[in-house]
Amino acid sequence: MSSPRILVVDDEADLRELLEITFIKMGLDIDSTDTLSGARAYLERQSYAMVLTDMRLPDGLGIELVREVTAAHRNTPIAVITAFGSADNAVAALKAGAFDYLSKPVRLDQLRRMVQSALRLNETGTPSLKSDAAPQPTPALRLIGESAAMRDVRAQIVRLARSMAPVAITGESGTGKELAARDIHAQSARADKPFVAVNCGAIPESLMEAEFFGYRKGAFTGANDDRDGFFQAANGGTLLLDEVADLPLAMQVKLLRAIQERRVRKVGATSEEPVDVRLVSATHQNLAECVERGKFRQDLYYRLNVIELHLPPLRDRRDDIGLLAAGILARFVPPGEQVSISPEAMEALCSHGFPGNVRELENILERALAFANSGSLQPSDLGLRFGAPAGTASATISATASANGSSAAPGFASLATAVAESAPPVAHTPTVPPAPRPYSAYESDDASYAPPGRAGFAGAGDTSMATTNSQAGADQGALTLPLNLPEHLDSVERRIILQALARTGFNRTQAAELLGISFRQLRYRMQRLEISEPE
């Protein structure tokens, strides 16, 4: 059986010789050339396990070859060699379809790892994307759904799995961003290596460097042994930076260096060590807006957001609700039991707004199983008190404003949201808590979700702000406003946070997830509002 063959394209004779020696020692066959035209001639008569090209060549740019190989030889990984510090060229090459990149001066250990990844990629037998037909995903995918949106997501995942380029996964809370990251890893050449998921919002800022890069014994009080960080734990595999927008700026600088140099220094160490990880980031926030506000570094944004994968909300793929519900029930129902969803209950689910997306669907069905008195779930078992279809909330608010003889000024919807949420909570059965809903949904401008009391300017039970002056109401429908808006909003926020903490037994991590905010944000709010754990 012949050895894998690699094509090297570089106009520096010394570097070509170094690469040839390295590859021959690895048991590989080599073809090399110093021009784009020579590379094209080789590709016309020979197939390669990998192509490695410099970015600057005498008769053109290496990125031209990247585009050509990506278009005509989709099963051939191509990597580029960039000049030291040319981060923009590396990002451009990755966006054009490059498998990976090397920076000059070339490190042989990094070169060997990259080639081994490319060879593993060829061995996985990922489907060819040459045909005009949509690529068929492998059966191991975890993302359920047959809607057009989900078929498109799965097709993108197949393509992304063939590259080492950083991927930024975006989407609302509960859409399955971590599952998508695991799918990318499972279908890549790194599938047999570690997958490490890190919630960036749940790590105290003082411990971030040690958690990400590791530390040496004696580096600080309590460092009794050497310890690897997330980068070392994911070496050779994939590192998921979940809620990456919550990283503090100081840590963003250190992370940027680790990405660019592919080397990290443990806390207390004097030298760096190489790491080989593929980075996947995820967030429900708009990173571009975070950059504009100065909350997120622009250079780090461009390094992480080389390729973007967007996951659609559940309300945009309602055809998948039946499949998702069946899969969720299969996990929750004990072996030997059979539970179905009645047509009326399925209709109620399909008309629900789902601000919490698939995660909310899981919570609704888990609660329904606890309520159900038979083997068929009924609408009453679902408890969809807040299940207004898309558009209901905004329509109701607008109708209220029109009835009062006024138009909604800018910020009206946000103010109405805050006022409505100050209503006392709806009574629930004590033994079965209601399905968690992300707090971010309350604060968003998306009118597809109607929290308690939003069906009008104020909730039915809101006595503090919804009290209407009868005379004024007869004249112009004016509302009695609070004497001190900041204090009132603080009281609303304090009540919501206390409810979340009570529901989770004062577990702040779970409460933060319940509210759709980061652990750090919850801790800050608790300090500001002077909320402490009861003795």
**Pick from 456, 460, 459: nearest CA to 393:** 456
Extended strands (E) in 73-156: 78-82, 100-103
In degrees, rounded to 5, the angle at the alpha carbon of residue 239 between the alpha carbons of residues 237 and 241 is 170
Nearest Cα residue to 54 out of 17, 20, 101, 108 = 101
What is residue 252's predicted lDDT score, i.e. its pLDDT?
95
Average pLDDT, the chain: 78
Tell me the H-state helices in 430-481. Answer: 439-443, 470-475
Residue 479: band (very low, low, confident or very high) from pLDDT cuts 50, 70, 90: low
Q: What would the mean pLDDT of 371-378 be, rounded to a whole number?
A: 85
Q: Report yes or no: 442 and 454 within 8 Å, Cβ to Cβ.
A: no
pTM for this model (two decimals): 0.60
Q: What is the pLDDT of residue 446?
A: 38
% of the chain with per-residue pLDDT over 70: 77
Q: Are 46 and 5 in contact (CB under 8 A)?
A: yes
Integer distance in angstroms from the first to the last C-alpha of the chain?
A: 72
Note the pLDDT tens digit of each residue in 242-294: 999 999 999 999 999 999 888 999 999 999 999 999 999 999 999 999 999 99
Cα–Cα dist 505/410, whole Å: 39
Task: Identify whether the C-beta of residue 215 lies closer than 8 Å to the C-beta of residue 224.
Answer: no
- pLDDT at position 415 is 30
**DSSP symbols for 318-371:** GGGHHHHHHHHHHHHSPTT---EE-HHHHHHHHT---TTHHHHHHHHHHHHHHH
Mean pLDDT of 59-78: 88
CB of 66 closer than 8 Å to CB of 93: yes
> Model confidence at 84, in pLDDT bands (50, 70, 90)?
low
Average pLDDT score over residue span 494-498: 90
Q: Which range is least confidently modeled, 118-132, 156-170, 365-379, 405-419?
A: 405-419
- Which pLDDT value is given to residue 385? 64
Q: Of 79, 17, 14, 11, which is closest to residue 48 (Cα–Cα)?
A: 79
- Residue 347 clears pLDDT 80, i.e. is over it: yes
Residue 90 predicted with pLDDT over 60: yes
Check residue 278 and give its pLDDT: 92
pLDDT of 7 > 80? The answer is yes
**For residues 270 and 215, what is the distance between their CA atoms, to the nearest angstrom?**
11
Domains of the chain: 5-123 (3.40.50.2300), 148-312 (3.40.50.300), 316-382 (1.10.8.60), 385-480 (no CATH), 482-535 (1.10.10.60)
Determine the pLDDT at residue 449: 36
Lowest mean pLDDT across 77-86, 336-345, 407-416? 407-416
- What pLDDT digit, counting tens, does each position of 191-218 carry? 889 999 999 988 998 899 999 999 999 8
pLDDT tens track for 422-450 = 333 433 333 333 444 443 333 333 333 33
95 close to 73: Cβ distance less than 8 angstroms: no
Distance (Å, whole) CA 252 – CA 428: 43
Query: Which of 209-229 are b and which e, b meaning 16 or more Cβ less than 10 Å from the residue's Cβ?
Result: bbbbbbbbeebeeeeeeebbb
SS3 for 82? strand
- What is the chain's alpha carbon radius of gyration, rounded to the nearest angstrom? 28
Residue 530 banded pLDDT, cuts 50, 70, 90: confident
pLDDT of residue 195: 95
Q: How would DSSP label each residue in 147-186?
A: SHHHHHHHHHHHHHTT--S-EEEE--TTS-HHHHHHHHHH
- Please give the share of the chain, as a percent, with pLDDT higher than 90: 35
Calculate mean pLDDT across residues 386-407.
Answer: 36
pLDDT at 508 (0 to 100):
87
Average pLDDT score over residue span 52-72: 90
Compute the average pLDDT of residues 31-56: 91
Span 301-315, average pLDDT: 92
- pLDDT classification of 459: cutoffs 50, 70, 90: very low
Tokens, residue 406: 């006024």
Average pLDDT of 399-404?
A: 34
The per-residue pLDDT for 332 is 86
Across 320-340, average pLDDT:
88
CB 371, CB 383: distance < 8 Å:
yes
- The one-letter amino acid code at 530 reads E
CB 95 within 8 A of CB 67: no
User: Which has the closest alpha carbon to 497: 462, 461, 464, 533?
Assistant: 533
Distance between alpha carbon 317 and the CA centroid of its chain, in Å? 18
Whole-number pLDDT of residue 85? 58
CA 321, 428, 316 angle in degrees (round to 5)?
20
